[in-house]
Amino acid sequence: MIELALVLATPFATAILLALFGHRRGAAEINSAGSLLTLVAAAALTIHIISDGPMTVYDEQFFVDPLNVFLIALTALVGFTTSLFSGPYMRVEHDHGRLSSARLRLYHSMFQMFMCTMLTALSTNNLGILWVAMEAATLTTVLLVSLYRTPASLEAAWKYFILCGVGIAQALFGTILIYFAAERVLGQSGALLWTHLDAVKSHLEPTVLSLAFVFLFVGYGTKTGLVPLHNWLADAHAEGPTPVSAVLSGLLLNVALYAIIRCKVLVDGALNTHFAGNMMMAFGLLTVVVPAFYLSRQKDVKRLFGYSSIEHMGLITFAFGMGGVASFAGLLHMTVHSLTKSAIFFAVGHAAQMAGTQIIDDIRGLVKMSPTIGWGLMLGSLAILGMPPFGVFTSEFMILTTSIKHYPWATPILLTALGVAFASMFHKVQGMVFGEPTVRPLAHNPALLPVFLHLGLVLMLGLWIPPYLAEWYRQAARLIG
C-alpha cells in the first residue's frame, strides 16, 4: 500500500519540485533521482504483489494485479533510464540554443507529470479515473511535443492534440456506456470500478457492452496509434525532443493498449463471443501492414522509428486479439519492444545531435566517429527487426506460431509485412551506421548506459526468460484470457 503511494506520489512531488527549480543546475539529477525512487517503489510493489497476490487499496479506487504491476515496473524502469539519457541530451540541446532555461524547466516538470499520469492510469481501478489520466497524459505530452516551438513541432502537437482529443472523447462515450450498463446491475456506487465490473461481467448487457467496446477501442486505439488513426504518431515522434519520443513509443502506447485490454476482459465476459478479439485482430493486422509500406518512404530517422512503433503496436494488438498463448507473447513483445525502441531512440537522439539533423541521408558513418552509438543503433535495429537472439525474435516467433495454429490465413500477411519492414529499415540503418562519416563527435559524453542496459535485457529475454518472470507473464496472460 505504501509502495503504491510512493509510486504515484514520487513523480508528482518531483514534478512540482521541478516546476519550481527545473531551470537550475542539477535539475536533470533531481529528475533522475525522482525516477530512481519511483523505480525502487515500483520494484517493492512488484515484490509485494508477487508474494501476496492482487490488492485493492484506497477505498477500492486503486487496484494492482500481476497484469498492471508488470506494466508499472516496466514504465518505472524505462522512465528511469530515459531520465538518465535526457540529462546529457538536454544539456546539448540547451548549449545549442534550441531550448531556453524556462523550456528546460517545463520539460523536466512535464516529464515527471507525464510519468505520474501514466502510472495513475495503470494502477487505477476506476474506469473514469483511467480516462482522466489518459487525457491528462495527452495534455502533458502535447506540451512536451511542442517544446521546441518550431512551426513543425507546433503543427505536430496540434495534430496530436486534435486527433487524440477526438479519440479520447470517443473513449469517454464508451466509458459512459459501460456505466450505463453497469448501473442496472451494480447501482450508483461502484459502477465504474473495474473489480466490481469484473465480478458481475456476465450479467452486463451484451449490446451495450459491445457498443461501448467499439467506442473505447476507437478512443484508446487512437492513442495506441492503430491505423487509420495513426497520423499523429509519426509527427509527434519526429518533432518532439528525443527523450519524449522514447517514452511515447516505449510507454504511452503500452498504457493505451493496457486500457483496451482491461475493457476487452469485461466485454468478453459479457458477450461470451470473440467479438472484441476479432476487432483487435482486424485492426492489429491492418496496423502491421500499412506502416510497413510507409517505412521505405521515410526521410526523417525519428519518423522511421515512429512508423516502426505503429507496426509493433499492431502486432501486439493482433496478439492480444488472438488471446490464449498469444497473450503471453503479446506481453513479452510489449516488454521487449519498449526496451528496444527506447534504446534505439536514445542512440538516434545522439546520432541526430552529432549530425545536426534528423534527415537519414545526412547521417552517415556513425560507427567511425562514435562506435558505441553506431553499434547501439545497429544492434537495436537488428533487435527490433526480429533478429535472433534478441527477445523480439522470441515474441514474434510465438505470435507467428500461434497464428499458424489458429489463424493460418493471417500468417503470410504478417510475414510479408515483417519482411518489407526488414528490407526498408535495414537498408536505411546500414547507411547511417557505416559509410563515409558526415557527423561530428559530441561535446559531452553521451549517456549510453541506458542503451546497452536495455539491449542487454532484450538479449537476455531472447535467450532465457527467468522462471519467475515467465510465471508472472503467465499469470498476467491468464487475466487477459
Binding site for another protein (CB under 8 A): 126, 128-129, 131-132, 135-136, 139, 142-143, 146, 149-151, 154, 157-158, 161-162, 165-166, 169-170, 172-173, 175-177, 179-181, 183-184, 188-189, 191-192, 205, 207-208, 211
Shortest Cβ distance from residue 240 to another protein (Å)? 15
Nearer to another protein, 172 or 334 (CB): 172
Residue 245 grid cell: 519520443
Nearer to another protein, 271 or 339 (CB): 271
Nearer to another protein, 142 or 292 (CB): 142
Nearer to another protein, 206 or 481 (CB): 206
Q: What is the dihedral of CA 127, 254, 53, 14, to 10 degrees?
A: -80
Rounded CA separation 387/114 (Å): 32
Rounded CA separation 374/379 (Å): 9
Q: Which of 136, 14, 130 is nearest to 68 (CA)?
A: 130
Shortest Cβ distance from residue 74 to another protein (Å)? 26
Q: What is the CA radius of gyration of the chain?
A: 21
Name the 3-class secondary structure at 73: helix
Shortest Cβ distance from residue 239 to another protein (Å)? 13
Nearer to another protein, 129 or 387 (CB): 129
Shortest Cβ distance from residue 195 to another protein (Å)? 15
CB-hemisphere CA count at 13 Å for 334?
A: 32
Shortest Cβ distance from residue 417 to another protein (Å)? 28
Shortest Cβ distance from residue 102 to another protein (Å)? 13
Contacts of 460 (CB under 8 A, 6+ apart): 391
Shortest Cβ distance from residue 423 to another protein (Å)? 35
Q: What are phi and psi of 453, to 5 degrees?
A: -60, -50
User: What is each CA distance from 150 to 204, 241, 304, 306, 459, in whole angstroms?
Assistant: 49, 12, 20, 19, 38
Shortest Cβ distance from residue 163 to another protein (Å)? 10
Nearer to another protein, 231 or 438 (CB): 231
Nearer to another protein, 95 or 155 (CB): 155
Nearer to another protein, 15 or 322 (CB): 15
411 and 400 Cβ atoms separated by less than 8 Å = yes
* Residue 106: Cβ within 10 Å count: 20
Q: What are phi and psi of 241, to 5 degrees?
A: -65, 150
Rounded CA separation 83/77 (Å): 10
Nearer to another protein, 50 or 166 (CB): 166
Shortest Cβ distance from residue 9 to another protein (Å)? 18
Q: What is the dihedral of CA 355, 356, 357, 358, to 10 degrees?
A: 70
| DSSP state letters, 113-137 | HHHHHHHHHHHB-BHHHHHHHHHHH
Rounded CA separation 259/418 (Å): 26
Nearer to another protein, 163 or 289 (CB): 163
Shortest Cβ distance from residue 205 to another protein (Å)? 6
Rounded CA separation 349/355 (Å): 10
